Structure 1
Amino acid sequence: MCGRYSLSKSKIELEERFQVEMLGDFKPRYNIAPTQLLPVITSDSPKGFSFFYWGITPEFAKNKPVSQKFINARAETVMEKVSFKNAFQKRRCLVPADGFFEWKKLGKKTKIPYRFTLADEGAFAFAGIWEEYENELGESNHTFLILTTAPNSLVSEIHDRMPVILRKEDEKKWLDNYSSQEDLLKLLGTYQAEEMLSYTVSPLVNSITNDSPSIIRKTSASIDQFGNYTLFG
């Protein structure tokens, strides 16, 4: 499961990396959580950033609020689930990020937060799908979720799933409405561990009210969710 990520790059850096335009201002985000309004690049509008809510509302659940339950979909079964199949076929998106967080469990009560990035710590894109629905006021809202897959050897030490990270050269294919289902499914593999980094971060990441550069800084020692130092890393 991917339930928290970061996008600490500036508007200029994101426009240069993805070669799309962002209208309006953008404030770097260090502790992104479900239900928040976030930048994505869609197959319907590949030349610019759109802002959608993280937490998809499936087609069969019309007029429902943004869901915290549907924030991820398993890549292996995305074509088998009624709730996600149509979106996978017609409404795909890039979810810009520069890192994601997972928590290593040490016993029943202790958890250590880790951040995962690419080796160069640059921006990348998760594979996402999106939906459009009407809220209770009859207004049109857009939501997205992130596809997940089996973890590589780096992530598997912490968690049994990881988000699908697309290679830069595959991003256009993911957005291309003419890509075949077979070609799209081939893009949903596990990113190589040798091309990634991981490190422990501050327990400040545990609260979504904290959103500052200190969230993504490497800690010199492992600190659990209560702020206690631990010998395990």
Structure 2
Amino acid sequence: MCGRYSLAKTKDELEVRFRAELLETFSPRYNVAPTQLMPVITSDSPNGFSHFYWGVTPEFAKNKPVSQKFINASAETIAQKASFKHAFQKRRCLIPADGFFEWKQLGKKSKIPHRFTLNNDHIFSFAGIWDEYENEKGEIKHTFLILTTRANELLASVHDRMPVILTQDAEKIWLSKYTSEKELLNILGPLSHTEMMSYPVSTQVNEPGNDNPSLIRKTSPMDQFGNYTLFG
């Protein structure tokens, strides 16, 4: 799965990478959590960033079991599952990121957060789908989900799933309205582990309210738990 990610890049870097215009108010994000408003690029508007809620809107997230359920969608079943099939066909999007977090189980009670990035620390995108609905006040809201696939060799020791990371060529395929279902499914596998790296980070990332540069820095086991032997 993917339950937290980062977009620790500037407005200018994102606009150059995606050749799209971003709101002036954008600032780097170090700990993106579900229900938060984030930039995406949709197949309907590929030349500009839209801003959608991840998974569900804040008011809808009061129902925690529901909000936790609707943040990811499985790439293996996306074309068949009734709740996602139409979005897969008509409402695909790119979700800009420069890293994501997963937690490695260490014993029965301890989990160590790890950050996963590309080897070159460049910006990339997750494959996503989006939707819209009208709330009780008659307002139109937009949300997005991140597609996940089986873990590659790097992720496998931490989690059995990982987000679908698209290459720049695959991004064009994903956004095109003329891509066949077979072509779409072919690009939804795991990115090679040789193109990625990971490292432990501070447990401060566990709290969604924390959002600062220290959260994406490599952290020693001593800084996390006061005990170097945990990695021995």
TM-score range normalised by the length of the shorter chain = over 0.9
Q: What SS is found at the alignment partner of 1:68?
A: helix
Q: For residue 121 of structure 1, what is the amino acid of its counterpart?
A: D
Following TM superposition, by how much is the alpha carbon of 1:209 offset from its aligned partner in structure 2, in angstroms? 1.1
Residues 35, 68 of structure 1: 8 Å contact kept: no
Residues 200, 222 of structure 1: 8 Å contact kept: no
State the partner residue of 2:150. Answer: 150
Give the direction of change, closer, same or farther, for the CA distance of 1:118–1:75 in structure 2 (3 Å limit).
same
Q: For residue 82 of structure 1, what is the amino acid of its counterpart?
A: A
Residues paired across the two proteins, number: 225
State the partner residue of 2:49. Answer: 49
Residues 102, 114 of structure 1: 8 Å contact kept: yes
The answer as to 2:60 corresponding to 1:65 is yes
- Residue from 207, 215, 227 that aligns with 1:229: 227
Q: For residue 60 of structure 2, what is the amino acid of its counterpart?
A: P
Residues 5, 99 of structure 1: 8 Å contact kept: yes
Residues 34, 56 of structure 2: 8 Å contact kept: no
Q: Distance in 1 between matches of 2:128 and 2:84?
A: 11
- Report sequence identity in percent: 63
Give the direction of change, closer, same or farther, for the CA distance of 1:222–1:19 in structure 2 (3 Å limit).
farther
State the partner residue of 1:216. Answer: 216
State the partner residue of 1:60. Answer: none
State the partner residue of 1:2. Answer: 2
Give the direction of change, closer, same or farther, for the CA distance of 1:203–1:153 in structure 2 (3 Å limit).
same
How high is the TM-score relative to the length of structure 2?
0.93
Kindly provide the CA deviation profile for residues 20-57 of structure 1, in whole angstroms up to 9, marking residues without a partner as x: 11133211000000000000000110000000000059
State the partner residue of 1:114. Answer: 114
Kindly provide the CA deviation profile for residues 115-136 of structure 1, in whole angstroms up to 9, marking residues without a partner as x: 0000001100000000010011
Give the direction of change, closer, same or farther, for the CA distance of 1:33–1:222 in structure 2 (3 Å limit).
farther
Following TM superposition, by how much is the alpha carbon of 1:15 offset from its aligned partner in structure 2, in angstroms? 0.3
Unpaired runs of 5+ residues, structure 2, are: 62-66
Structure with greater proportional helix content: 2
Unpaired runs of 5+ residues, structure 1, are: 58-63
Q: Distance in 1 between matches of 2:227 and 2:22?
A: 41
Q: Which stretches of structure 1, 4 residues or more, deviate above 6 A after TM superposition?
A: none
Q: Distance in 2 between matches of 1:131 and 1:100?
A: 23
Residues 56, 131 of structure 1: 8 Å contact kept: no
Residues 56, 130 of structure 1: 8 Å contact kept: no
Supply the RMSD in Å over aligned alpha carbons.
Answer: 1.5
